[in-house]
Amino acid sequence: QRFAKYFNHDFNILVAPCVNPWGYETMERWNAQAMDPNRSFGREVTNESKALMQYLQHYLTCAKWLCHLDLHETTDFDKFEFRPAKLARDGEISNQVGTIPDGFYLVTDSTITNPQTTWHKAMIDSVRQVTHIAPVRSNALCTEQQLRMGPDGTIIGEQAVQEGVIAVPVPALGMCIGMTTAKYAATTEIYPDSPKVTLEQCNQAQMMCIKGGLEYITQQDKGSIPPLPIFQKLFGEME
């Protein structure tokens, strides 16, 4: 509401405020069928991912998406409820307690040939104005248990490709940002249970990420290509 009016002349903005209502209400990553909607935008689909894909395919006449931002939060419920419940469901045993990165970071696609590194930096720099960026793991500062959770220089076990950014194989994982094949695509993550931030700061961080990303696209692509739709969604479940 604060910034959208400044971008309306250049972009068509679509917002899907909550793809997984059950997960939002229960603070869980998965849906009521114990499936993860943000791992179901591929061969395996859930009712939630199917509904969103059908809407985009059948009700919108967009040949190409320019930007796709998928906004996520990870709370302590993920560490103490979701992950133990998933292990129990799958018959697995683990003595490790997962760690949640304290700070804001981005998840991008490791399979693309032209990663938008300067776009990522623009968003990270914008977010930095309101909250801290997730640091990479330093094994020199880790306990023995934490060392088992990921090697040096990683965020949530994935190697950082630049400050506050990790890259994973999005198509293989069935993540939402792979659905539109947008030129600019990223998933955001922030930890609202951190003692270093307030809930308002978390909301501001998401907003500043969008603002920084759109400002960068406007400066880089305006004049060279016609305005194309922007897809920004608040996923509504944990990542």
Burial state string for 3-25 with b = 16 or more CB within 10 A and e = fewer than 16: ebeebeeebeebebeebbebbbe
Strands 230-238 and 13-16: parallel
Tell me what percent of the chain is helix, strand and coil, each rounded to the nearest 5.
35, 20, 45
In a 3-state reduction of DSSP, which class is residue 137? coil
Q: What are the pLDDT tens digits along the chain (239 aa)?
A: 677 778 888 888 888 989 999 988 888 888 888 889 999 998 789 999 999 988 888 766 677 789 999 999 988 888 777 778 878 888 887 766 567 899 999 999 999 999 999 999 999 999 999 999 999 976 444 444 444 445 568 998 899 999 999 999 999 999 999 988 899 999 999 999 999 999 999 999 999 999 999 999 998 876 544 444 554 443 333 33
Helix/strand/coil for 130 = coil
How far apart, in whole angstroms, are the C-alpha atoms of residue 151 and residue 136? 10
Q: Which residues of 50-71 are buried (b: 16+ CB within 10 A; e: fewer)?
A: eebbeebeeeeeeeebbbbbbb
For helices 199-221 and 117-127, the axis angle rounded to 10 degrees is 140
Bridge-partner residues for 74, per DSSP? none
- Confidence at residue 213, expressed as pLDDT on a 0 to 100 scale: 96
